[in-house]
Structure 1
Amino acid sequence: MAASLSFSEEDLSCPVCCEIFRDPVVLQCSHSFCKTCLQQYWTKKLSGRDCPLCRCESSTDDPVVSLTLKNLCDSYVKESCVRGAAEGEETGELCNLHGEKLKLFCLEDCQPICVVCHTSRKHKDHECCPIGEAVLDFKAKLKAALKPLKGKWEAFDKARQDYEKTAAHIKTQARQTEEQIKAEFEKLHHFLRVEEEVRVTALKEEEEAKSLMMKAKINAVERTMASLSDTIRALEEEIQVEDITLLHKCKATMKRAQPTIPELKLGSGVLINVASYLGSLTYKVWMKMLEIVRYTPVTLDPNTAAPWLILSEDLTTVADSEERQHLPDNPERFTLDTAVLGAAGFSSGSHSWDVEHVGVEESRTNKMAELLPSEVPLKKRKIEAQSPDQENSCRQVPVRLLSSTELLLQIPPNTNTSLPVWECVNATQAGVQWSETPYSITIQITPLTTQKARSNDQPVNQPQPPCQFKHVPLPVHLLPTLSGLDHNGDTDCPSVFFKLAAKTFYTKPSKYIHICDDFLTGCCPHKLSCERHHTPLPFHWQLRHWNTQQWVNISLSAQVKLEKLYCDPDQETIRLQDIFPIRTEAFTLHLETKKVTSAKYDKSRRLSSSYDPEMSPHFPTEWSIYWWNDGKWEKYEKEVSKELVGAIEAGETSRGFYIGKQLYEVDFSRMTQMNVTTKFERRIRWRPTFRSPFSIKSNLKTVSLGEPPRPFGQVLPSLSVDPLQEFSSWYPPVWNLSPNQGFSLVEVPPSAKAYQSIHCLFYSTMNETKTEIISIQQVQNIFHWDRYRRQKEHMQIHSTAHSWSLEQHLFHGTTEDCAKEICLNNFDPRVSGKNGVVYGRGSYFARDARYSLKYAAKSGGGNQHMFLAKVLVGNVTLGNATYSRPPRLNPLTPGYELYDTCVDKISDPSIFVVFDNCQCYPYYLIKYKAVSDLVNICE
């Protein structure tokens, strides 16, 4: 196209406007003009229609547009644009009026113009700028306007996401709330079903008992009627006799005619006691339901809780969270303060409630919620914290006047009883002073002197002044400090003593009734009218007197011992002992038949709680079934055992089950298992799982663990601290030893937290039905403890081991003589080798008490000794019999750093060997023995 055009821009330009033709016309003189330019020229001239160039007259007033010339102009313009684009020039847009490129931009009219337009009247005085600058300026303005738009878009997008999260949270809230509503109503439904079942069962039992009674009466009446019929028939035959024979039998006949007939009268209480079942039934159920329904005066609003708070499902308790929760940022929620509001329920007045404030840092104790002015004034939470060492702190504690001369003050639960003043109180080395005014009583307790515990190298106890009270003498019951390992015969008995709560215990004659679970938790509403047994423990043993047929209870301590032996499947019989004033009787209890070979008792029975967790949620009896295999009892798999126990409880006489593809059948009447294919039979037996009083004490309200009576005025250190937990003080918080003493052994009472923690750790691998703890003693040796603590600080700084693996509590079994020496001189790696040196010539410790059992040789009385030691494990390596010290930590690099401990295996080690006695300390000494099969039913 460009090659075919031989015209220049001048050839295709209008002589008038000097621009490319627009709608070109050709006059008769062959000159060409823009039609618009020609008409404007003729209009200005007012006369004539001549050519602007040659002045020749035109024959027409309206010349026709030359399409040929117009096409040539259009082609030229298009070709010029293409050529400019190919050469990298900006083509731009042409001016509609002048056909020129739009190279300027009018700032006042805000439109692009050409050079000709800039000189025209319309834009002559307007401020203009080049198109390029205008484009850059406009882009800058667009960018400035675009940024807030993007910000708004992002804000709306975030709002959309928040709304979506809120919608999802609403669905989650609705689902969880629905589940909780259903769960709460299910509890009520379950409660009603249980109540219905209990009452219907009691009704059926009463119906059965009274039906049997009436059946017995009917049988007696029928027997009497049969006897009377025989008498009537005999008398009628006698009447038919006519001779003197009748008179010979007259005396016997008259006696027979006047038989003794029992009185035909129903006694009282024969009918069903309908009133006891239907009388105020709904009210009684409602009153009992009140005991399982808990009312809390304040309901926390989860929609206001700060993201760092976790609320309980019932919205009554709140706790701090380690991480911020992802919750909707609704207007009601606290975001700056760690706070939560109670649900709206107050419109006016002053309202308050008690808050249990546990584990909150001092910097966060005075935070309060700020309410908006438009909100209803809800109750604000206000917490005031006081540090333990704050003097003259005022605490509200319960006070009760026991009598005119006795006042009881209860120690608050959060009191730090490890402070020195409490040691003085326990040691009866404190003076009590008080002053009274008409409206207040001020009591002050101050230490008198420092009480020192007995040690092995000191003489007998010195006289100690009792507590001095200037107004009211208060009784004090304290435990003594025991010294050494030498005890009398009484201390070889288990040290657990039981205290019965002030409750009424009773049992029913029927053996098909379970022990009341509510009574054990201290909330049975029926009290003496309850249809179930009320016993101190979830199990209860009784002996039947052969003469009176009355069931006799045995002592509480004997209950636990007897239950422990019964839970051992290896036990066939138990020796019982009954102590009388002038003699002692020993007899045998056969556990399978429950028969007793005694001159006083003929049978025994065991009462227990239900095995159904719904019937007994706190103390369900767990049964296990064992089968005899190669001289020992083996337990069935859990599922099989559960199935068989359910069949026994349901009253079935037999039940079949599969082990793999083999079918077995159990006969519960004979307690045998038969292989259906081979007809081979084995014995089976079922026994409960032993539940230690320590394992159920949290829910058990009928019995508490106590200590035996102790002499007045002796020392009991504070043993409420868990010894297995880390502490910040140099000495353990429970110590009361002075620096000038050698060492002391302090017996730990069973009620102490230390005893319970060690008890649980010891029996985590030991069988409680085979062994029983006699005593647990704390070893207080300042010299060896100081060495141990300095070694611990050194290892904490230099050891590369993790903090969780630096110190561990491990067991060490030993003999009685060695135990005494260890208490004085610590463990000594130099005397290793007596029991082998498989992993090195050092002191051996075990993770499990079961492993240390075989190294704890029995003493003359059958007692065994085991230490619970603190051991600094640190960096461990695999042991070797040739090691007399640990190997180097890294043999390839220069240096003399050694491993700290040798172990039996790197992954999950169970045996630890240390070569320096600074790394170990005999923390507690456990004295125990095998469970005896002799039970004193009166102790």
Structure 2
Amino acid sequence: MEKTGCPRLHATVPWHWQVKNHAGNWCNILVIQAKELERAYQDPAIDKIKVSPMQRKHVTNYGCEIIKLLGKGWCEANFTAMTMKSSDGSQTFELRRLSTPSSSVSDSEHATPYEWFFQDRKKWIPMENSQDIETFYQVESSVFMTFKQNKYEYTLDFESMTRQNLDTEKQTAIRRRPKKRPELQPRELKMRSSRKAKLPPSWEATDNTQVSLLAPLSSGCTEFLEIGKRMADFFHKVKDVEIVRVQNPTLFLPLKNKVTEITKRRKRKPLVLRLFHWPRQDQVDTICRDNFSPRLQHPAITYEYGRGTYFVRSVSRYSDTCGPGKGERGVVFVADVLLDGYVEGDNTMNSPPKIPGSTNTYGTTVDSQHMPTVYVKFSKRDYCPRYVVHFTA
């Protein structure tokens, strides 16, 4: 929080994020959440994100103050309005980003490089003359900049953040964003190479002291689009979809190691399905940290195929009983689930029965032996959360 004395913010990275409290003072957002904001802000396609919950563990007094201000749940940051909502949605605070001077006017090694983009349909395209635009933006007092590119003449309006083609009179939106910097993956946060090699290449580097990292996905990235295809029918019925990648090595690696063990033993790789799981709405953070369990899944699930953790092939299964009411926010998980033999289950099963003629048990019970759509699991090494999907019904 702001204090009297030195007017500068002292930080270990060349940027930081703050919100303004009711007294008009600017309060620093915790480092982990600030990094989430910075990563998202670098992508011009992202208008707003859900920032992961702020934990009270291992924080200073100022950390407790920001948690008291914003709450302990997910907070929504809006980069267009530069605002941040409290976790319960009842309050909206002004949001700002601080950084070192632009590299267009500073030779410092810590200066911040920027890039300019224009919107073409739904895509954000880098401008060829970004450096010239940034210099003009920093040096000149005018809110208008006119330049020629190819055979057209354009005017930029820095007040409305638009670009107009003076020949066709077509107007498009523009955005200024910091370029990606290595400070978001500092040396002390890099994973050991042997461990990192076992993790998905799309994962961002995490602090070894962190249990998990929740990384918001851009709506145009490959992962978001792939999940969209799997949930296409469901997505047509909902809106305001946001997807967060769950990066938790303590949950991902046990499943991966079990798959490796089975592959070595049987000389063939077992099937791993990507399924859906309906949770209790207030247990999302616990699942991301500790994994799924029967006590954390939605109370509408009645254990008709066994008293384990339920996963479904189609997200629409149980959506009527587990989904939110019209206009309300809801959440569903995308999970990786090991399928290593299954049998039809019933509500008396606390664990899968033995395989006939063997001392081993089935790993899964299902709703139908021939065409299963519901899978019930009983071992935490057989599954892990991969994505959290937030939506409005």
User: What is the percent sequence identity of the aligned residues?
Assistant: 22
From 750, 766, 769, give the equivalent of 2:234: 766
Give CA-to-partner distance per residue, 1:709-735, whole Å, 9 cap, x none.
Answer: 679757499xxxxxxxxxx94111112
Equivalent position of 1:333 in the other structure: none
1:824 matched to 2:393? The reply is: no
After superposition, the Cα gap between the structure-2 partners of 1:709 and 1:843, relative to the gap in structure 1 and judged at 3 Å, is farther
Q: Which amino acid counterpart does residue 928 of structure 1 have in structure 2?
A: F
More strand by share: 2
SS in 1 for 2:230: helix
Equivalent position of 1:313 in the other structure: none
Give yes or no for contact 1:827–1:843 (8 Å, CA) kept in 2.
yes
1:460 matched to 2:31? The reply is: yes
Q: Which amino acid counterpart does residue 123 of structure 2 have in structure 1?
A: K
Equivalent position of 1:45 in the other structure: none
Q: Which amino acid counterpart does residue 302 of structure 2 have in structure 1?
A: G
Q: Which amino acid counterpart does residue 303 of structure 2 have in structure 1?
A: V
Q: Which amino acid counterpart does residue 487 of structure 1 have in structure 2?
A: C
Equivalent position of 1:190 in the other structure: none
1:733 matched to 2:226? The reply is: no
Equivalent position of 2:329 in the other structure: 863
- In the TM superposition, residue 790 of structure 1 has moved relative to its aligned partner by 2.2
1:898 matched to 2:364? The reply is: no
Equivalent position of 2:260 in the other structure: 793
Give CA-to-partner distance per residue, 1:38-78, whole Å, 9 cap, x none.
Answer: xxxxxxxxxxxxxxxxxxxxxxxxxxxxxxxxxxxxxxxxx
Give yes or no for contact 1:867–1:925 (8 Å, CA) kept in 2.
yes
1:405-420 counterparts in 2 under 5 A?
Answer: none
- In the TM superposition, residue 488 of structure 1 has moved relative to its aligned partner by 2.4
1:810 matched to 2:379? The reply is: no
Give CA-to-partner distance per residue, 1:884-920, whole Å, 9 cap, x none.
Answer: 1111112xx3x53111111111222111000111111
Taking the aligned partners of 2:368 and 2:179, their CA distance within structure 1 comes to: 50
- In the TM superposition, residue 921 of structure 1 has moved relative to its aligned partner by 0.4
Give yes or no for contact 1:745–1:777 (8 Å, CA) kept in 2.
yes
Give yes or no for contact 1:841–1:881 (8 Å, CA) kept in 2.
yes
Q: Which amino acid counterpart does residue 74 of structure 2 have in structure 1?
A: D
Give CA-to-partner distance per residue, 1:667-711, whole Å, 9 cap, x none.
Answer: xxxxxxxxxxxxxxxxxxxxxxxxxxxxxxxxxxxxxxx999679
Q: Which amino acid counterpart does residue 812 of structure 1 have in structure 2?
A: H
1:711-726 counterparts in 2 under 5 A?
Answer: 715=184
- In the TM superposition, residue 459 of structure 1 has moved relative to its aligned partner by 4.4
From 902, 905, 909, give the equivalent of 2:372: 909
1:154-193 counterparts in 2 under 5 A?
Answer: none
Q: Which amino acid counterpart does residue 329 of structure 2 have in structure 1?
A: N
Taking the aligned partners of 1:778 and 1:844, their CA distance within structure 2 comes to: 20
After superposition, the Cα gap between the structure-2 partners of 1:708 and 1:830, relative to the gap in structure 1 and judged at 3 Å, is farther
Give CA-to-partner distance per residue, 1:803-829, whole Å, 9 cap, x none.
Answer: 4x6200001122431212211110013
SS in 2 for 1:755: helix
From 195, 209, 213, give the equivalent of 1:744: 213
From 926, 930, 936, give the equivalent of 2:389: 926
Equivalent position of 2:76 in the other structure: 488
After superposition, the Cα gap between the structure-2 partners of 1:501 and 1:463, relative to the gap in structure 1 and judged at 3 Å, is closer
- In the TM superposition, residue 861 of structure 1 has moved relative to its aligned partner by 7.3
Q: Which amino acid counterpart does residue 281 of structure 2 have in structure 1?
A: E
SS in 2 for 1:814: coil
- In the TM superposition, residue 752 of structure 1 has moved relative to its aligned partner by 1.4
Q: Which amino acid counterpart does residue 31 of structure 2 have in structure 1?
A: V
SS in 1 for 2:316: helix
Taking the aligned partners of 1:823 and 1:812, their CA distance within structure 2 comes to: 12
Equivalent position of 1:67 in the other structure: none
SS in 2 for 1:775: strand
Give CA-to-partner distance per residue, 1:569-608, whole Å, 9 cap, x none.
Answer: xxxxxxxxxxxxxxxxxxxxxxxxxxxxxxxxxxxxxxxx
After superposition, the Cα gap between the structure-2 partners of 1:501 and 1:743, relative to the gap in structure 1 and judged at 3 Å, is closer
Taking the aligned partners of 1:922 and 1:777, their CA distance within structure 2 comes to: 11
SS in 1 for 2:304: coil
1:775 matched to 2:242? The reply is: yes
Equivalent position of 1:843 in the other structure: 309
Taking the aligned partners of 2:253 and 2:261, their CA distance within structure 1 comes to: 12
Taking the aligned partners of 1:554 and 1:766, their CA distance within structure 2 comes to: 35
1:23-62 counterparts in 2 under 5 A?
Answer: none
Taking the aligned partners of 1:708 and 1:761, their CA distance within structure 2 comes to: 33
Give yes or no for contact 1:832–1:841 (8 Å, CA) kept in 2.
no
The number of residue pairs the alignment matches comes to: 247
Q: Which amino acid counterpart does residue 198 of structure 2 have in structure 1?
A: W
Taking the aligned partners of 2:202 and 2:332, their CA distance within structure 1 comes to: 21
Give yes or no for contact 2:278–2:297 (8 Å, CA) kept in 1.
no
Taking the aligned partners of 1:882 and 1:759, their CA distance within structure 2 comes to: 36
Q: Which amino acid counterpart does residue 811 of structure 1 have in structure 2?
A: F
- In the TM superposition, residue 772 of structure 1 has moved relative to its aligned partner by 2.2
- In the TM superposition, residue 867 of structure 1 has moved relative to its aligned partner by 0.6
Alignment TM-score, normalising by the size of structure 1: 0.23
Q: Please list every run of 5 or more consecutive structure 2 residues that lacks an aligned counterpart in the other structure.
A: 1-12, 15-28, 36-40, 54-72, 79-83, 86-120, 127-169, 187-195
Taking the aligned partners of 1:878 and 1:905, their CA distance within structure 2 comes to: 6
After superposition, the Cα gap between the structure-2 partners of 1:866 and 1:481, relative to the gap in structure 1 and judged at 3 Å, is closer
More helix by share: 1
SS in 2 for 1:848: coil
Taking the aligned partners of 2:218 and 2:289, their CA distance within structure 1 comes to: 22
From 244, 251, 268, give the equivalent of 1:784: 251
After superposition, the Cα gap between the structure-2 partners of 1:789 and 1:708, relative to the gap in structure 1 and judged at 3 Å, is farther
Q: Which amino acid counterpart does residue 122 of structure 2 have in structure 1?
A: F
SS in 2 for 1:766: helix
Give CA-to-partner distance per residue, 1:179-233, whole Å, 9 cap, x none.
Answer: xxxxxxxxxxxxxxxxxxxxxxxxxxxxxxxxxxxxxxxxxxxxxxxxxxxxxxx
Taking the aligned partners of 2:249 and 2:52, their CA distance within structure 1 comes to: 15
Give CA-to-partner distance per residue, 1:463-496, whole Å, 9 cap, x none.
Answer: 99xxxxxxxxxxx94589943361227489xxxx
Give yes or no for contact 2:213–2:247 (8 Å, CA) kept in 1.
yes
Q: Which amino acid counterpart does residue 906 of structure 1 have in structure 2?
A: Q
1:517-916 counterparts in 2 under 5 A?
Answer: 715=184, 729-735=197-203, 736-763=205-232, 765-766=233-234, 768=236, 770-798=237-265, 803=269, 806-829=271-294, 834=299, 835-858=301-324, 862-890=328-356, 893=357, 895-916=358-379
After superposition, the Cα gap between the structure-2 partners of 1:873 and 1:818, relative to the gap in structure 1 and judged at 3 Å, is same
1:211-222 counterparts in 2 under 5 A?
Answer: none
